[in-house]
Amino acid sequence: SACQRSEWHELPIPGAEFRDPQQMEALGWSLEQRPLEQAEVQVEFLPPQAEHSAGLRLAAYANPTENRLTTISQTPIAGGYEGASSRIRSSAASVQAGQLVRVAAKARILRAPTSPDSGVLVYDNQAGPSLGQLVRGNAGELVSIELYRFIVADGEFRVLAECRGQCDIVLESIATSVISPAVNRRSYATNPNDR
């Protein structure tokens, strides 16, 4: 079959190793932040360690607030789009119509999200956030991320990660690969009477 004759090939996204923030910016990575009154937002690069590769930490914590009785409480951060506080967009890789792209990554959960629609949403510019994977889990878990995208038009492919609601998650090891289905060049009869 055509799929058996095709192979996955690396689709490099420059800077996806999270090693040098200045180099990543020069390569086209970007950070957007939306100030949320009730949240303290953190985006930082974590150097490689013996047990972990370099990572990108996305975190949002509820700020303590004082009420009229001077007791300190925390107003929860909304999840979903309403609670989106920061978004990272990768540099671009060139893709062609008809290709299939696979995004594989790992995420370390430092603090579990506090609501069902909180976490780090990983998606791409081809399919958008509605087909992304919301990364969640318990503290200490290593979560696998996997997205597959069929490319319908030549252009750029970018990976995006968005912190939604209250969470603390480190993205590691983002790898993208591409497959171009083999084309069967044999002629086929297009009319049943042409046999």
| Digit-coded pLDDT (tens) for 68-104 | 555 555 556 655 556 577 889 999 999 999 999 999 9
Q: What is the DSSP string of 118-131?
A: -EEEEEETTT-GGG
Nearest to 82 by CA among 122, 39, 143, 125: 39
Q: 179 near 99, Cβ under 8 Å?
A: yes
Nearest to 151 by CA among 93, 99, 86: 99
| Digit-coded pLDDT (tens) for 127-144 | 999 999 999 999 999 999
Give per-residue burial for 54-86: e unless 16+ CB within 10 Å, then b.
Answer: bbbbbbbbbeeeeeeeeeeeeeebbbeeebbbb
Q: 9-179 belongs to which CATH class? A: mainly beta
